[in-house]
Structure 1
Amino acid sequence: MFCNIPGVYCKNDELRLIQHLMLKYDRDVRPSYNQSTPVMVSMDMTVHQILELDEKHELLTTSVWQRMRWHDVNLMWEPWRYGGLNKIRLSMERVWSPDITLVNSVLPNTKQSEIQAVVSYDGSVSWNTPRLLKSSCPLNIVYFPWDKQICNLQFASWTHDGSELALFSTDDSADDTDYVENGEWQLLEIPVIREQFYAPCCEAPFSYLNFHITLLRRSGYYVENLIFPSLLITTAGMLVFVLPPESGEKVSLSVTILLATSIYQLIVADHIPVQSKVFPIIGLYLMSTQLLLAGSMVLTVLVLNIHHQGDSGKELPRFLRVLLFRYLGRILFMGDSVKILQRETIRRTPSFYNPEFDRDCLNMAPREPYLKTTQYYSTNKHGTGVRTHHVTIGIGLTDQSAEKELGQLNQFFKKALMSLSTIEEWVKGKRRENICKAEWLLLAKAVDRLLLMIFSTSFVVSTSTILMGHAMFRID
């Protein structure tokens, strides 16, 4: 403000103060009383939002408010000389500022912020500026999607070592009062740790601040859209051993389920770093389920082969029959089926052909007793014709007609017995074929049930060990 009073020219107090301070001020000179005294710079931070954690490229994007304080001995004045003015605001281009840099930033150095610094009469300088930080964040995705990540924001002076600039924080952790929640990540804590490191260029150590941003992944989305469907698909894969071989769909079902798990493997691969040094638990689980399903597909082919062995009439080997009837039937709760098949195996078809009877027929001679019947007709007193029979029993007699008739009868019975014997052999063969086929079918059913028990147990153990166990006892 300027004022026009006769003989007096008034100038604004703030303008006079700034002109006075800037008259001999050089922003390139470190504001210290002597060369050996470091400038004490305090830095604190308010985390506003975690915008993104790119797992694929291991990058963290954060919106923060950065607050820095230091003392500039060249920016001091007595307020009473300037109308009681105890604070002024100067652009950062006009005052010295510490070159505090995000060491692990992936963005190029940006231009100086246009936000002004607040300078107090005692030389204290306060500079608060919003910043969008994009930093590298090596991830440990072993426990994905139940993982906890710690991303460091490392701030240090780019050119001043510890003998010239001492960086520290007034708080033990960053401020998250106004933090906006992220949908995927839960912010747990942001402790601040001051450390020192030695660079090859300088004798004195550099001081830097590490803001450890600790994030916990919200796993609900992945459980609902990745874990649960994968469990259902793997459970459906166990149904391959329940599906009857006669359906003809056992192998195709195995291949379909195996392809489905491969698709979920690609989804997981899309969420983990390309150059990851560790393998995620979910990937290990999917790999184990793929091995189980691939094994089930191979064993399904074996079961189908066993199922169709009986079609060729091949008999079940004795050791397999013993294994099936004595052990597997009891272990797999197939006792009823085994007992029925055992009864069918023991039962024999009655024989129609008796060699003794055939020999007796062939050895019959005319000397054997035979009956000869003679018919006579007479008339009774009523005039009615009556037929009477006269039977003659002969022993050791020879009669050419009787011998001929007996020989014909013998040949007839012999042919009949031979025909019955042929039919009997066919029935026996058919029955043996059916029993043989039934034994192979029962063995295939037993193997299917045994594999169902083995694979179901393996699935439950792998799921509880790999997924549930690591979800409950994940690394801190």
Structure 2
Amino acid sequence: YITMVATIIYMVAVYVNHSGLAVNQEERLMNYLFVEKGYNKELRPVTNKDESVNVDLGLTLSNLVSLKEADETLTTNVWIDHSWTDYRLQWNQSEFGGLWILRLPPDMLWLPEIVLENNNDGFFQIAYYCNVLVYNSGFVYWLPPAIFHSACPINVNFFPFDWQNCSLKFSSLRYNAKEITMNLKQELDRELDKHYLVEWITLDLEAFTENGEWEIIHKPARKNIDRSVSPESSKYQDITFYLIIKRKPLFYIINIVLPCILIAFMAIFVFYLPAESGEKMTLAISVLLAQSVFLLLISQRLPATSLAIPLIGKYLLFIMLLVTAVVGTCVIVLNIHFRTPSTHVMSSWIKELFLETLPRLLHMSRPAESEPDPRAGLLIRRSSSVGYMAKAEEYFAVKSRSDLMFEKQSERHGLASRVTPSRERPKPLGMADVQDLLYSEVKPAIDGANFIIKHTQDKNDYNEEKDNWNRVSRTVDRLCLFLVTPVLILGTLWIFLTGIYNEPPELPFAGDPFDYSMEHRHFV
């Protein structure tokens, strides 16, 4: 009878099991852990209140999204690796059909509540609360994803040839160092059968995409302890992951640096532009306004800080000061160019310095006084009529006044001497009678000729003095060209070479020979 009852019970159990009416092993296990054992997620997994829960933390970088310099915000897409041991979640897998792992929602378990302390948006939570893996040994593993907007102080000294040191600082705001101990996670080297600390940010090689603006140079991780505060403070310990990144400057070189340099070198063409064109000031002011526009664009790109001036900002300020000086010299050159003898008198030292000494030193060609004409053997006059005036003065100085008066007039009045028959020769007039007769008629012509000669001489003197002022202005232009060009070239090279050679350090931390990489890992 007993054998028959046992057989019936066995057959019913087999039927129920195959028909899906049996209790699920995971359900039995959850009932065992949370009901029978009375699991309380508000309590730390320790047997003694003085014990501390060891929490291991790691970070896997999926994507370096961006670094907004104006907001000093680093945006990253990461996976946060949590692991700890909860003795209350242990079970014998043989009692639950060989079940050795359990996936549970995080709101059912105790969590260390580790958050990003230096977030820049006030959002401490992770992006998605994925399930927690619980092993039969009590080991708990949680890998939630997150998109963090962390604060990253920007050093703008060498922009756009800069590198930045950004960090992600994690700490527990709920538990202090006596309640939980934060550590970097450990992994097993299967070849050496040794554990090592993961003292770096792990890259998700399958999902990671290279950022178009930033290159990752170092990615160390450290546990920091501030012994100046009490262990009961949340500031006592933290796990910080560092991202030392270098900017790829090609975009800024093409769109900002090269246009700035080319526009800056347009300033030297101001000294080649003739003052008569009336466009010297226009070109100089245009260059100044263009540099102001670039400075405005840079100010919108970078944070509003007074701690440092960016490299490109230094260059733009240098160019603006230089172009301002060029504008000032243009005003002086134009003032000199349009001077006249009626408004200014050229002193002897100006003539000596700007018409003799400086043109010779600056290799400026001087206008020739007179050069032989190979075709006619004549003298080529200068722009003024000084040569003709000298000949006219010589002519009038040699001729007597009577000759001047009667040389042409006597012929016009039939008084020129000529041979005629004796019967036709009239009675000769006396010289005094002829002079008295014609003086009143010729005198206005002589006075007019003298006036024209004096006026022409004054005009030529005026034009010559004006030409001298023009030559002085051209000399000042050439002098400024020789001064501004080397200053512009040397200033450009000095400013940008200091940025080009601004390289990140070879090691993440000064004075620490360890490079925090997989190749030189520390074994536990």
Give TM-score scaled by structure 1 length. Answer: 0.84
**Equivalent residue runs for 1:128-207 within 5 Å:** 128-170=143-185, 171-178=198-205, 179-197=208-226, 199=229, 202=232, 206-207=236-237
Asked whether 1:68 is paired with 2:82, we answer yes
Structure 1 residue 405, shift from structure 2 partner: 2.9
1:231 alignment partner in structure 2: 261
Structure 1 residue 99, shift from structure 2 partner: 1.3
Structure 2 stretches of 5 or more lacking a match? 1-8, 17-21, 186-197, 372-380, 406-416, 506-524
Deviates more, 1:143-152 or 1:252-261: 252-261
RMSD: 3.3
Structure 1 stretches of 5 or more lacking a match? 363-370, 378-386, 392-398
Alignment partner of 1:59 out of 65, 69, 73: 73
Alignment partner of 2:476 out of 427, 444, 447: 447
Asked whether 1:376 is paired with 2:422, we answer yes
Asked whether 1:248 is paired with 2:278, we answer yes
Contact 1:93 1:112 in 2 (8 A): no
1:395 alignment partner in structure 2: none
2:293 alignment partner in structure 1: 263
Contact 1:46 1:66 in 2 (8 A): yes
2:390 alignment partner in structure 1: 349
CA–CA distance in structure 2, aligned partners of residues 230 and 279 of structure 1: 17
Asked whether 1:125 is paired with 2:140, we answer yes
Structure 1 residue 349, shift from structure 2 partner: 1.6
Deviates more, 1:307-316 or 1:171-180: 307-316
**Equivalent residue runs for 1:273-284 within 5 Å:** 273-284=303-314
Deviates more, 1:456-465 or 1:424-433: 424-433
Give the paired residue count. Answer: 448
Question: Alignment partner of 1:48: what SS?
Answer: strand
Structure 1 residue 413, shift from structure 2 partner: 8.0
Contact 2:177 2:231 in 1 (8 A): no
CA–CA distance in structure 1, aligned partners of residues 471 and 110 of structure 2: 90
Give the direction of change, closer, same or farther, for the CA distance of 1:122–1:335 in structure 2 (3 Å limit): same
Structure 1 residue 468, shift from structure 2 partner: 2.9
Larger relative contact order (CA 8 Å, sep ≥ 6): 2
Give the direction of change, closer, same or farther, for the CA distance of 1:55–1:206 in structure 2 (3 Å limit): same
Give the direction of change, closer, same or farther, for the CA distance of 1:204–1:246 in structure 2 (3 Å limit): closer
Letter aligned with residue 390 of structure 2: T
Structure 1 residue 474, shift from structure 2 partner: 5.2
2:12 alignment partner in structure 1: 6
Contact 2:171 2:234 in 1 (8 A): no
Asked whether 1:217 is paired with 2:231, we answer no
Letter aligned with residue 158 of structure 2: Y
Letter aligned with residue 278 of structure 1: A
Give the direction of change, closer, same or farther, for the CA distance of 1:12–1:401 in structure 2 (3 Å limit): closer
CA–CA distance in structure 2, aligned partners of residues 227 and 176 of structure 1: 33
**Equivalent residue runs for 1:300-339 within 5 Å:** 300-310=330-340, 312=342, 314-337=344-367
Structure 1 residue 401, shift from structure 2 partner: 3.3
Letter aligned with residue 185 of structure 1: W
Give the direction of change, closer, same or farther, for the CA distance of 1:338–1:102 in structure 2 (3 Å limit): farther
CA–CA distance in structure 2, aligned partners of residues 164 and 140 of structure 1: 37
Structure with higher Rg: it is 1
CA–CA distance in structure 2, aligned partners of residues 461 and 427 of structure 1: 51
2:408 alignment partner in structure 1: none
Letter aligned with residue 70 of structure 1: W
Give the direction of change, closer, same or farther, for the CA distance of 1:193–1:461 in structure 2 (3 Å limit): same
Give TM-score scaled by structure 2 length. Answer: 0.77
**What do residues 16-65 of structure 1 show as CA deviations (whole Å, max 9, x unaligned)?**
22221113211111112323332111111111112222211111111101
Deviates more, 1:406-415 or 1:121-130: 406-415
**What do residues 131-169 of structure 1 show as CA deviations (whole Å, max 9, x unaligned)?**
111111111111111111111100011122222211111
Structure 1 residue 410, shift from structure 2 partner: 7.4
- The structure in which a higher percent of residues are strand is 1
**What do residues 283-340 of structure 1 show as CA deviations (whole Å, max 9, x unaligned)?**
1111111111122112211111100003747442211100023321112211434877
Identity of aligned residues (%): 27
Letter aligned with residue 166 of structure 2: C
1:427 alignment partner in structure 2: 456
